Amino acid sequence: MKPSVTHVPQSPWLLFWRRFRKHKMALVGIVIVFSIVVLTAIAPLIAPYDPMKQNLLNRFQPPSATHWLGTDDLGRDLWTRILYGGRISLSVGLLAMAVSIVLGSLIGLVSGYYGGWVDSILMRITEIFLSIPRLFVLIALGMFLRTLDLPYLQAGSFLPIAFVIGALSWMGTARMVRASTLALREREFVQACRALGGSNLRTLFQHILPNVASPIIVSATLGLSSAIISESGLSYLGFGVQLPTPTWGNMLSNTQSQMTTAPWTAIFPGLMIFLVVISINYIGDGLRDALDPRHAPR
């Protein structure tokens, strides 16, 4: 007789890792994003120059041993400004994503759980926000906030831009969480919690929320890349974080006329945006595959 094979149960984290590591591009994306985050975090330690200091004698210097990525139109070191600009761009993306995920998750949970007139009102509000021309509102609110003489709302601050982007990006998360909550609220474990006298808040946050965490996590990664692109677009148009505070977006704002004479002033900031966004998107794909076995690669 053949010996019986005993299957050792695996933890959810181990199963998650086995599925996630099958997505090679997601692993590469983690390495890229982690490296960029570390470099921007330690920018004061490794940046060789002051990101604000101008030196007109060094205008449009090509990449060299002295200036690794060259200099811009005011003689500032591009490597230094990219590191400091990454701190702002990534901070805007993280804060905007957090605002979007919190708003969308709360609205989706409440709408899907209570249903009825609550669901109807919240979904109509969601549809109103979806119909708003987002870029126009971002530009208008960005200009308005800069006119207010309040702390943290000055031209160089990224907080108002991050909150505005997050406040206009929660609708997709809300609809997705609502759909999942509608399916879960009739499940046996939710009904059992109600029968045992569990409050609505306990049912929502202890039983339903953990079961909709997977799509929320995937939505967070996609929302992060979207927020970084939104900030870059606003700063490129001149309505985001204002110069001389560097961000990857506003570093591109004056480079159209320099593409033939000093292309490095546009290539390197644009390359950073490209690498971060595509890496985060690959990470989101990997998380989707790992958290939902139906999408796992063969």
Q: What is the pLDDT along the chain (298 residues), one digit of tens a residue?
A: 455 555 555 676 787 778 888 888 989 999 999 999 999 999 888 888 888 888 888 888 888 888 888 888 888 999 999 999 999 889 989 999 999 999 999 999 999 888 888 989 999 999 998 888 888 888 787 777 666 665 555 555 678 888 888 888 889 899 989 988 888 887 877 778 777 777 778 888 888 888 888 888 888 888 888 888 888 888 887 777 777 788 888 888 878 778 888 888 889 999 999 999 999 999 988 888 787 655 544 4
The span from the CA of 125 to the CA of 131, in Å, is: 10
> What is this structure's pTM?
0.84
Tokens describing residue 186: 């009739």
Which pLDDT value is given to residue 275?
Answer: 93
Q: How far apart are CA 290 and CA 27, in angstroms?
A: 12
Query: In whole angstroms, what is the distance from residue 37 CA to residue 24 CA?
Result: 20
Read off the tokens for 59. 């205008």
Query: Measured between alpha carbons, how far apart are the two ends of the chain, in Å?
Result: 33
What contacts 92, CB < 8 A, 6 or more positions away?
158, 161, 162, 165, 227, 228, 231, 241, 247
Which is the CATH superfamily of the domain at 16-51+76-295? Answer: MetI-like (1.10.3720.10)
> Which tokens hold the place of 198?
């569990």
- The pLDDT score that the predictor gives to residue 1 is 47
Burial track 201-234 (b if 16+ CB lie within 10 A, e otherwise):
eebbeebbbeebebbbebbbbbbbbbbbbbbbbb
pLDDT of residue 276: 93
How far CA 140 is from CA of 4, 127, 136, 147, 234, in Å, comes to 69, 20, 6, 11, 11
